[in-house]
């Protein structure tokens, strides 16, 4: 079992850390903090890496628990993110297989950041056939964690400032590799669009 933060789709390294676990518990009581992947992801473009972030009410310096953070939906962030993904990956081999479902997710306007993060995570888990079970955020689950701490791992997730310095980089063909070189540990969507769900599962499980 692993206890970790919930990320916006998640970096490749983050998703890889989940593939070897049977049970995952997302700490949604943790304080929202700036410059993390809770509301940010990094994708590839023809100019290099691009950081996309979901705006939240109260700004990035607020101290609320993640489960209480609300999305600033007065900004067209969802349209901008979907447009950026389409622009960058429309030529990727597998993008068209996921495009409509992604569009549907980005057309929704959830009030809470946590709801959108869970939606994207569950969708991703389905696409790559992830086998980990997500433990519920309730009293029963927390009691189980307390009683089994000896077997629990606490994930050290990468941050936007050091995400591309992770060891054991998984190599695969990227869309703009011939222009900007290989970009390590991007958002898992980069690998999904370039390789497809079946190959992503294999790469994460065998590297």
Residue ranges per domain, the chain? Answer: 2-206
| Mean residue pLDDT across the chain | 87
Does the pLDDT value for residue 157 go beyond 70?
no
DSSP code for 56: B
Q: How many residues does the chain have?
A: 207
Beta bridge partners of 65: 31
Using a pLDDT cut of 90, give the percent of the chain over it: 63
Per-residue confidence at 96, pLDDT binned at 50, 70, 90? very high
Which tens digit of pLDDT belongs to each residue from 119-143? Answer: 999 999 999 999 999 886 654 455 5
The arithmetic mean of pLDDT across residues 57-69, rounded, is 85
Residue 123 to residue 113: CA distance in whole angstroms: 16
Measured CA to CA in angstroms, residue 148 lies from 134, 141, 142, 156, 170 at distances of: 16, 11, 10, 19, 32
CB 110: neighbour CB atoms within 10 A?
A: 16
Residue 18 to residue 7: CA distance in whole angstroms: 12
Residue 87 to residue 34: CA distance in whole angstroms: 27
pLDDT at residue 150 in the model: 42
Which tens digit of pLDDT belongs to each residue from 28-58? Answer: 888 888 788 999 999 999 999 999 999 999 8
Element (H, E) at 144: helix 139-147
The arithmetic mean of pLDDT across residues 73-102, rounded, is 97
Residue 143 to residue 53: CA distance in whole angstroms: 34
pTM: 0.89
Residue 152 to residue 207: CA distance in whole angstroms: 23
Measured CA to CA in angstroms, residue 174 lies from 7, 92, 112, 129, 131 at distances of: 22, 8, 33, 22, 26
Do 68 and 82 contact (CB within 8 A), yes or no?
no
């Amino acid at each position: 079992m692993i206890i970790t933060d919930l990320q916006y789709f998640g970096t490749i390294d983050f998703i890889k850390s989940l593939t070897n676990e049977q049970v995952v518990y997302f700490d949604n009581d943790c304080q929202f903090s700036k410059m993390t992947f809770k509301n940010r992801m990094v994708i590839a473009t023809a100019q290099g890496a691009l950081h996309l972030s979901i705006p939240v009410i109260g700004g990035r310096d607020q101290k609320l628990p993640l489960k209480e953070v609300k999305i600033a939906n007065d900004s067209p962030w969802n349209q901008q993110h979907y447009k950026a993904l389409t622009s960058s990956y429309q030529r990727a081999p597998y993008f068209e297989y996921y495009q409509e479902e992604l569009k549907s997710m980005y057309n929704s306007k959830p009030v809470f950041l946590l709801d959108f993060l869970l939606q994207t995570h569950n969708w991703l888990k389905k696409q790559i056939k992830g086998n980990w079970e997500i433990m519920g955020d309730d009293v029963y689950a927390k009691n189980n964690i307390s009683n089994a701490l000896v077997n629990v791992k606490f994930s050290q997730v990468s941050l936007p400032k050091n995400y591309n310095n992770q060891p054991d980089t998984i190599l695969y063909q990227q869309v703009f590799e011939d222009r900007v070189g290989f970009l390590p540990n991007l958002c898992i969507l980069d690998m999904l669009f370039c390789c497809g769900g079946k190959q992503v599962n294999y790469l994460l499980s065998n590297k």
